[in-house]
């Protein structure tokens, strides 16, 4: 998946083809951004957000490498599939091969973002802080070497995403629909996970965990949901019929708030929308200052 590095360029960790579906009406390249850290709101071109120079460039054994061309190729394949889903407002219109492509794109999109890298680095820093006081000099050197290689290790999590595809294909695939009056938002970490099932003392977030809900907003009016099959046991016959027929599930106001709150919670820094309305984000941050950054793993 990795190739020799090209000249460092602005590399998007949320594809522009996806961001374009959340732009301001009549302004096909403009999106409204809310910065969770500063509380500032501003309009900008989609080329300026969810991107960083050389984000997928790395050095391996003195060779300059990059994942950018492979990711661009995957984006092109996924964009064609998502255009089809959006045009038909159904996931039943895509072929098995197209579903595999989309599953792989979702898995990659989950780990390729800046928020996931921040969580990855945070785990390493917490382990260092926990283990270093009692570690031998030799172990400390190994730990520091591991930290130096953390960027390469993170890149490997992206190249290994094919392992998650079977878990995603086994989910119930749905579409949630809203209106432009109450649109979906998208964040710099757009694949979100939620689970209402208590798996204590174990965690309940993961692609293979029972009860998991996985969401990816596709446009200001459509969100793709991948649900654990166990959730089907709690659905009424009409909902199951709609899903089987491929009809989108019409969201209530509370449903839209729920899906948007996941985008805000998972965002590492930026939430983006077609409308300058981020009251929900401001309220969430007011209630819990930790939401100013994305989720972090807590260590006991």
Average pLDDT for consecutive 10-residue bins of the chain (300 residues)?
A: 66 97 96 97 97 90 88 97 98 97 98 84 63 65 59 86 97 97 98 93 91 98 97 92 94 98 97 98 96 78
Asked if residue 274 belongs to a domain, the reply is yes
- What's the CA angle centered on 96, arms 94 and 98, to 5 degrees? 55
- Give the span between the Cα atoms of 205 and 197, in whole angstroms: 10
Q: How far is CA 183 from the centre of its chain?
A: 18
Indicate the pTM of the whole model.
0.90
Query: Angle, nearest 10°, between helix axes 150-159 and 137-148?
Result: 50
Residue 13's pLDDT is 96
26 class by beta-carbon count within 10 Å (0-12 exposed, 13-18 middle, 19+ buried): exposed
Asked if residue 296 belongs to a domain, the reply is no
Asked if residue 27 belongs to a domain, the reply is yes
Total count of domains within the chain? 1
Asked if residue 76 belongs to a domain, the reply is yes
Domain residue limits at 75: 3-287
Residue 27's pLDDT is 95
Asked if residue 298 belongs to a domain, the reply is no
Residue with tokens 């109450």: 182
Residue 6's pLDDT is 56
Q: Return the closest-CA partner of residue 191 out of 99, 105, 93.
A: 105
Residue 128's pLDDT is 61
Residues β-bridged to residue 58: 65
Asked if residue 297 belongs to a domain, the reply is no
- Give the span between the Cα atoms of 158 and 131, in whole angstroms: 27
Asked if residue 186 belongs to a domain, the reply is yes
- Give the span between the Cα atoms of 62 and 55, in whole angstroms: 18
Residue 58's pLDDT is 86
């Amino acid at each position: 998946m990795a190739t020799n590095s090209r000249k460092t360029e602005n590399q998007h960790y949320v594809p522009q083809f996806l961001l374009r579906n959340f732009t301001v009406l009549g302004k096909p390249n403009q999106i409204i951004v809310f910065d969770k850290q500063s509380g500032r709101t501003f309009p900008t071109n989609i080329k300026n957000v969810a991107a960083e120079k050389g984000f997928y460039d790395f050095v391996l054994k003195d060779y300059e490498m990059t994942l950018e061309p492979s990711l661009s190729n995957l984006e092109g394949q996924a964009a064609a599939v998502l255009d089809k889903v959006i045009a038909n407002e159904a996931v039943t219109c895509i072929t098995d091969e197209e579903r595999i492509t989309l599953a792989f794109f979702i898995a990659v999109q989950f780990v390729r973002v800046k928020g996931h890298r921040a969580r990855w680095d945070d785990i390493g820093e917490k382990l260092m802080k926990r283990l270093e006081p009692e570690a031998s000099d030799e172990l400390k050197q190994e730990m520091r070497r591991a930290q130096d290689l953390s960027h390469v290790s993170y890149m490997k999590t992206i190249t290994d995403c094919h392992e998650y595809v079977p878990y995603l294909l086994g989910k119930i695939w749905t579409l949630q629909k809203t209106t432009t009056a109450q649109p979906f938002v998208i964040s710099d970490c757009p694949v979100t996970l939620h689970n209402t099932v208590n798996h204590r003392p174990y965690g309940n977030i993961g692609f293979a965990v029972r009860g998991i809900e996985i969401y990816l907003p596709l446009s200001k009016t459509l969100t793709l949901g991948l649900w654990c099959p166990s959730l089907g046991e709690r659905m009424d016959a009409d909902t199951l019929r709609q899903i089987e027929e491929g009809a989108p599930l019409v969201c209530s106001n509370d449903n839209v708030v729920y899906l948007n709150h996941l985008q805000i919670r998972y965002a590492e820094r930026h939430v983006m929308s077609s409308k300058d309305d981020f009251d929900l984000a401001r309220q969430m941050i007011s209630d819990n200052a930790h939401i100013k950054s994305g989720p972090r793993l807590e260590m006991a």
